Structures are given as structure tokens and as C-alpha cells.
Structure 1
Amino acid sequence: MNEYYTWPTWSADGTKLAVSKVTLETDGSDISVEVMDSMTGRSETIYENGLAGLVAEGAPHYIYWAPTGDQLSFLASTPEGLSLFVWDGVTGNSPGVIDRGAPLYYQWSNDAQAMAIHLGPEIIWAKPLMKDGPRESFRSPGNFRALAISPDGASLAYVDEGDSEIALYISATNNLNQGKKLIEVGPNAAFMWSPDGTQLAVADQSNPRAPLFDRLMLVPLDGGLVTTLTSGAGSSEVWAFFWSPAGDKLAWVSVNAQEQELEWVVSPSDGSDNKRLFSFQPSSEVFIMLSFFDQYAYSHSPWSPDGKWLVVAGTKGKVALRNNGRTPTGDRVYVLDVEGDEGPCDLGAGVLAVWSWN
């Protein structure tokens, strides 16, 4: 096989897929971004890498459709460095560069009119989306990856350091200089708005050298009580978390250090009942997705649109094998019932699966 497609990414309306295409040549590899019609399979090349580099091991690009409309954003390795591109969705048009540099994380606003960009220490609000257009920005030494825009686009969440503390802050997107402190967090943190905009899921770690999170909590915006879902040395550490589409549940991936495997856990958004669903070892692609989950959550959803199922690719862990007997070898795609009433459904061999948004 001299060519393959990887990292399929659904458009908001489910009519198109964007993928990375890799063609293996005797003198190297050709890498491109393709857009496909999900019904006919007809494809269009919208970008070809001048430099056949990867944005991460196993990921030729990072691809992320706008939440509405036909715009497509992606990260690509270029001779000038890691670059953020946006394609306007018009056949024949070339994508334009929005920003360059590393590390670079970003989120579209829900109306696709703006982006929040975290580029090195810079926090940037770009509206309209032009490389040299007007921007608001400031610097933050906070140790986090992706920013979080509220569903209504009016607020931006980020981590910053004060004189003696590290905290999660919220600023109005039209005035980034006025930040409101929400809660103190550890040296490493990740956070995402609930779909209804009433609270933030926040994970943090008290040890700056630890790669995982030792606390996961739900923080209401109205000043109400914080709900702690897992915390402390006696609990499993958290690697990644994802809101359900309706915001009534939160799913996270915990690390079972004793078995050296991962486990999907789901809880209602009030933290009343944690359900352990499935132990597994991730495929290489899922490993990448979980390692940068606070970015991939915006582009590759493990949740079904109705919030009843999760999908994951990998191999069954020891706990799942003990519960369910023998299983085929190699990476498989599993669909999980979040209520825990049904066992995992094996869809077949595969290294990555994501639900369409609709």
C-alpha cells in the first residue's frame, strides 16, 4: 500500500470529511489535506505540504472544522514552522495562514467568526480571522494548553499566575484585560465549558512534574459549590475528559496504575454516580487524542450525538478481558453504553473512530 488516509474529521453538518493523505514515494512521502463528500466519496486536495513533516508523531496534521459553515482549519508543519491555516470552503481557493509558532492551541467560537489562540505564552483573541487583522492579546505564564470559549462567545477561560497563586480566570472576549478569578488550580491544568455555559470542568495536578491530573471537578459560574468528581492520592489519576453533547454527563479516562491500563468512567454532571465502563489499552491514534484531549475535544468527539454512547479504539484491558472472555488481537473499535447496561460492542478492526456531530 503506497498511500493511506488518516485522522478523519467530520464537518458540523456531517456532509463532508477532512482527512490527512499520505503517499509513500521512493524518495520520501507526500502529505496533503483532502476534503471528501461523505455521500459520494468525491475528494478535493486543499493543501499539500511543502515540507513532509508531522505536527506530532503519528499525526500529519491537526484538522478542525468550524462549528458552523464550511470553513476548515488545520495545523501543518511548514519550512517557517508550525502553521495554523483556514480554508474558506470554496473549491479552488487556497487556505490562508492565521498564525505561526509553537506550541499552538486554538478554539473556534461557536459562530465561527473568531478564534482564541494560545501561542507560546500569548493568549490571543482573533476577530476577524486574518493574520494581520485586529487582535487583543496578553501574556500568561500559566501551564495549560487549550483556551476555552464560552458557548455564547462572550467569555474566555484561561490560567494565569498571580503574586502567590495559580488560578483559572474568565475574561470578556471584548475586554481581555479585565479577568475574574474563578478558582485556584495546581501547576498543570485543563478546562472546558459545559455546553450550556453554566459551569467548567477543570482538571489539575499539584505536582508540576506529573503528566496526569490528580483532581477533576465541576466549577459553577454562579459561585455555587464546586463538585469534585475524583481527587487525592487514593483515587485513579485522570488523563482526559469530555463533556456529553447535552452537558448532562462528563466522561473521563482514568489510569489504573495497578493494571497499567486505562478505563472510561462516566458521571452525571452533578457528580452523583460514577460508572466504570471499560478498561483498555489505546491505539496509537487514541493515545495522541488523549494526550492532547483539550484540543481534540473540539474536533473529534468520542460521544454519540444523543449522549448515549462512547466510541474508542484499542485493545481490551485485563479487567475487560476478565469480564468478557477472549477477544480478537490487534486494535479494535468499541462502542460503550454509558449507562453500563450493555457490554462493549466490538465493531471490528480499527485504530480511530469518531461520531459525526449530527
Structure 2
Amino acid sequence: MPLRSLLSWTVLVPVLAIIALAITWTHKELGIIPVLIVAILLAGAVLTAVHHAEIVAHRVGEPFGSLVLAVAVTVIEVGLIVTLMSSGGPEAATLARDTIFAAVMITTNGIVGLSLLVGALRYGLTPFNAEGTGAELATVTTLAALSLVFPTFTTTLPGPVYSAPQMAFAAVASLVLYGMFVFTQTIRHRDFFVPVTDEGTVAPEEDHARPPSGGRTAASLVLLVVALVAVVGLAKVESPAIEAAVEAVGFPQSFVGVVIALLVLLPETIAAVRAAARQRVQISLNLAYGSAIASIGLTIPVIVLASIWLNGPLHLGLGGTQLVLFILTVIVSVLTVVPGRATRLQGGVHLAILAAFIFLAVNP
């Protein structure tokens, strides 16, 4: 790699962010200046993650590019959840549920709504492949129901918890569904997940720039992982400051999980909006629903395994308000996906549901 490339901000920022993470990881409390520095590096890591994800996506093409970013973010997010659960107290019992549900609401309403709104404001209508997007939505709905809805109604154990056999079934089912989704998206029916034109035909590949070389792609893949580790790690480092801020304004402590989820999903959000601005809304939907599928399909099996040595119960079942928000999200998402194209109204409706989720997280 040329010296100029090594000194570019897209290389230096992830390295500096990782150094800052290594220095601050064991510190429970930071002063105002370190907190500000970490916040700046966190924002920079988000931007560099998007940059390198787009380089990798340009090289491998869709839908592989969307899958790379979704899986990378989710794998590191799983590590963060397990770390917080192992070091947390009684409140850690609901951490996995709250984090997964926040990720589902942010992806299926926030990223989808923002992408549809941006695309519709710029082009009037936002066409996408209803077959592929419908399959993604069906997978998200089934995974969420198996992992987050059923524990509320099972009777083997009291409370919103699964018994050991029930957790094992949920873990295996999640892995199988995720594997089937990846096979369908990348091999068997790849054409269902590529951008389409207004007439419903496959859109031509973007050719305004040559694909990056193999060496540059490999370097970007490494830097993408480094940047994502920095994003998730620095988000955890910032969590005490976020908790203090949340407590200062009188918000529930559970809202901290929403803030962390928003930070972790920033790279995917920015990448999705930029794709929508280029009239590639299908890529945006792949990022949104693919991230939701990965968040459940990869997190639940790991959490189930981790629960063997983690102390305390694992509350997975959603509460009443969360169940209503989930059902509303599924109904609206089906109505959005079926036509195969959307207007700014659909984008606004999804963003309204996200706003309701955030508001009710503040005022439960």
C-alpha cells in the first residue's frame, strides 16, 4: 500500500480508535476530555467503517456486499452483549432481549424508513424486488417470534423465560433459518436481492468506477473489522458517560441499550441511506433486514451457549408494549413490501413507528 494511502484518514482513524480502545478499556470512569476524544474517534470509526464496507461491496457485488457489513457488525455486537452480560448484575437478565429488540426496531423501521424516504424524495418512487425483500421480512418475523415472542407465553417456567430444551430449540432453529437465508440470498436466488428498475427488471451494475484491486479489498476488509471493533468497543467505553447522561435527564436505565444500539448500527444506517440516494434501495433493504436477521440468528445461539456459564436468568420474552410495537411493525412492513415500490409516505410511517419505540423507551 502506498505511503499516501497509509497516511489517509480512513487508515489512521481506525488505528487511533483501536489504540484509544486499548487504553480506555479497563477504565471504569473517564474525565470530560477523554470522553470527548473517545466520542470523536467513535464518530470517525463509524465513517471509516462505511467507507471500507463500500469498497468491499464494490469488489464482491450485491448481495454479498450487504452481507459482509451485516454479519461483521452482528458478530462484534454479539461479543459486546456477552461481555456486558458476564460483567453485569441483575439488570443483565434483560440485556440480550432489549438489545436484540432495539436492533430489530432500528433496522426494520429506522433504516428502512429513512432509506425509503430519501429514495422517494429524490426519485419519486423507490422500486425494489418484493420477492427477495418479502423473504427477508418473513425470516425476520419468524426469528423474532421464536426468540422474543414465544417466551412470553410459554408455561414450563414462570416469567418471560425459556426452559433449557426450549432455548436449545430456539438456538437450532435460528441457526438453520439464518443458514437457509444466506444460501438463498447469495447462491440459489441471488437475483431476488439485487437492485431493480421502475419496470421491475434487474438494474445494471454501477460502472462509474473500476472495482478495487484484490489487495485494496483485502486491506479494506481488515480495516472494516478494525473499525467495527472500535465502534462497538468505544460504545461500551462511552456507556458510563451515556448512563450518567441518561440518569441526569431522568430517562430509564433501559434506554442506554437503545443508545448503544443506535451507535452500533450507525455504519449500516449511513451505508443504507447512501445506497438509497443512488437509487439502490434494494441494497438498503438488504442491509436493514439482513442486519435484523443476523442480529437474531447469530445472537440467540451464542447467548444460549453463554447462558451455561452465566449466572442468573435470561429474560427473552417481550413486554406488552414491545409486543404491540412488534405486531405493528410486521403489519406495516408487509404492506410496504408487497407492492414492490414505495413512496415517501411509507418511509414516514416506518419512522413514526421508530419514534414511538424511542418515546416509549423513554416514557414506558
Report TM bin, short chain: under 0.3
Provide TM-score, normalisation by structure 1.
0.24
Higher relative contact order (CA 8 A, sep 6+): 2
Provide TM-score, normalisation by structure 2.
0.24
Is the strand fraction higher in 1 or 2?
1
